[in-house]
């Protein structure tokens, strides 16, 4: 037991030495955006014509697990109201996301978000009319 604890402590010390302030700040900013705490402007534009195709502003999170060539943007628009946009990217259509206002981030602490209610999902039951 003591050996496992010692290995865990050493591993944590090594990992702590690997994280730069910039990496911790970047990770914490990404988590804050995913919790809809950061105002963003996401602009999609055509690289050939230089035209803006779409601009999305608000408390928005970019898709973290999107397939190549796609981007989803989920925005909080009310207390319990959200909108999700799906966009296709191509060789001439790209995007950039801008954080509109700075927020305070602690570079000495990692931010961990734990939501126990997400472990047990809500289940919607659909049946085929009495069968």
The tally of CA atoms less than 13 A away on the side-chain side of residue 121 is 3
pTM score of the predicted model: 0.69
pLDDT per residue as tens digits for the range 22-74: 888 888 888 899 999 999 999 999 999 999 999 999 999 999 889 999 999 99
Distances (CA, A) of 124 to 4, 28, 60, 68, 127: 42, 33, 27, 30, 10
pLDDT per residue as tens digits for the range 93-131: 999 999 999 888 777 777 777 777 667 767 777 888 765
Q: Of 4 and 111, which is predicted with more confidence? A: 111
Print burial letters for 67-77: b (CB count within 10 Å at least 16), e (below 16).
Answer: eeeebebebbe
Residue 61 φ then ψ, to 5°: -120, 135
Q: Residue 124 has what pLDDT?
A: 78
pLDDT per residue as tens digits for the range 71-102: 999 999 999 999 999 999 999 999 999 999 98
């Amino acid at each position: 037991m003591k050996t496992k604890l010692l290995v865990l402590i050493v591993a944590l010390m090594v990992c702590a030495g690997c994280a730069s302030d910039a990496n911790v700040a970047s990770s914490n900013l990404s988590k804050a955006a995913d919790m809809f705490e950061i105002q963003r402007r996401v602009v999609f534009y055509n690289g050939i014509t230089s035209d803006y195709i779409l601009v999305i502003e608000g408390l928005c999170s970019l898709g973290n697990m999107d397939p190549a060539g796609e981007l989803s943007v989920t925005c909080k628009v009310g207390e319990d109201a959200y909108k999700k946009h799906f966009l296709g990217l191509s060789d001439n259509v790209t995007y950039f996301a801008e954080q509109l206002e700075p927020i305070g981030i602690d570079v000495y602490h990692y931010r961990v978000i734990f939501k126990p209610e997400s472990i047990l999902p809500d289940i919607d039951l659909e049946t085929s009319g009495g069968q």
